[in-house]
Structure 1
Amino acid sequence: MEKILISSCLLGTPVRYDGTGVQLLHPQIMTWQQQKLIVPFCPEVAGGLPTPRDPAEISNDKVITNIGDDVTAEFKLGARKALQLCQQHNIRFALLKESSPSCGRNTIYDGSHSGTKVKGMGLTAALLTQHGIEVYSEQQMPALVQALA
């Protein structure tokens, strides 16, 4: 069986910007945990950002917090560390948190900090995809399960 990179927050780990996790309760996750196939990872924490932290969104190819701090370097470092981890463990599949400026697979926030979502990918999701790793969001669990079957 293949190992899967999974956003730590989806496993309930309190690493999101607001200090919470958003545990994905899906029977397949429990099975993968029992089989020791899950590699948990939070690119934002790996990139050096604290928990909790100011919310950030992608704007003009930069990641900017709601108070105007540029955290692009931390987000890029986290993305590179995610890629290195995938390469180290021969991971070809990732399950990442939708709409995150790191992990968003199909949507991200528009950069205005107004709660508006747009089509797009977070930095980590984009980098993994560029290197041939199949990225799924928590909303695409059935497709991921099928891809791994």
Structure 2
Amino acid sequence: MQYVLVSSCLLGKPVRYDGRGVPNGDAVLARWLDEGRVVAVCPEVAGGMPVPRPPAEIEPGKDAAAVLAGHARVVATTGEDVTAPFVRGAREALAATQGRGIRMAVLKEGSPSCGSGYVYDGHFAGRRRPGVGVTAELLRRAGLQVFSEKQWTEAGACLADLEDGNGR
């Protein structure tokens, strides 16, 4: 059986920066939960961040690849450099996939850890920009398919392909 890494907040766990979860009632997720396929992870908590915590964004003009290379920071609204726990959490998320043969993940869109299509621009003004979070970047580098909570149908099709031996 193929397992799937899923952001803990999407399972309703109150681990987001604001102490909330964002439970998702999608049928694909419900089926995976019933089948025991879901491995939950919150990279920020795994990296040592508290709940709640100040919002954080990748600094303006930089991206997750630069963060992982040590050339950019993740900064909280307080001005605190929180790069180390974000990178540590990304590594913990990757470690959770190893030994289980996990080849795909569904992560929370927009997060500086988990975003897979967009992140915020680093100015704390609510402006989005195309890009990925630190964990999504690290997982993709390791060969995982990464989806957002807006892509359950695509994620379900990916899982079916993986189980049929047609892996991407």
TM-score norm. by structure 2 comes to 0.87
Tell me by how many angstroms 1:31 deviates.
1.3
**Equivalences for residues 134-149 of structure 1 within 5 A:** 134-149=145-160
Q: What is the CA–CA distance in structure 2 between the aligned matches of 1:17 and 1:75, rounded to whole Å? A: 13
1:84 aligns with 2:95: yes
In the other structure, the counterpart of 1:54 is 54
Q: 1:139 is paired with a residue of what secondary structure?
A: coil
| Long gaps (5+) in structure 2 | 63-71, 161-168
| Long gaps (5+) in structure 1 | none
Greater gyration radius:
2
TM-score norm. by structure 1 comes to 0.98
Q: What is the CA–CA distance in structure 2 between the aligned matches of 1:114 and 1:7, rounded to whole Å? A: 24
Q: What is the CA–CA distance in structure 2 between the aligned matches of 1:97 and 1:30, rounded to whole Å? A: 16
- The count of residues paired between Structure 1 and Structure 2 equals 149
- Provide the identity percentage: 49
**Equivalences for residues 63-74 of structure 1 within 5 A:** 63-74=74-85
Large movers: runs of 4+ above 3 Å: none
Letter in 1 for 2:53: R
In the other structure, the counterpart of 1:32 is 32
Q: What is the CA–CA distance in structure 1 between the aligned matches of 2:96 and 2:158, rounded to whole Å? A: 21
Q: What is the CA–CA distance in structure 2 between the aligned matches of 1:137 and 1:29, rounded to whole Å? A: 12
Q: 1:54 is paired with a residue of what secondary structure?
A: coil
Q: Alignment partner for residue 112 of structure 1, among 123, 141, 144?
A: 123
1:4 aligns with 2:4: yes
Tell me by how many angstroms 1:88 deviates.
2.2
Tell me by how many angstroms 1:28 deviates.
1.6
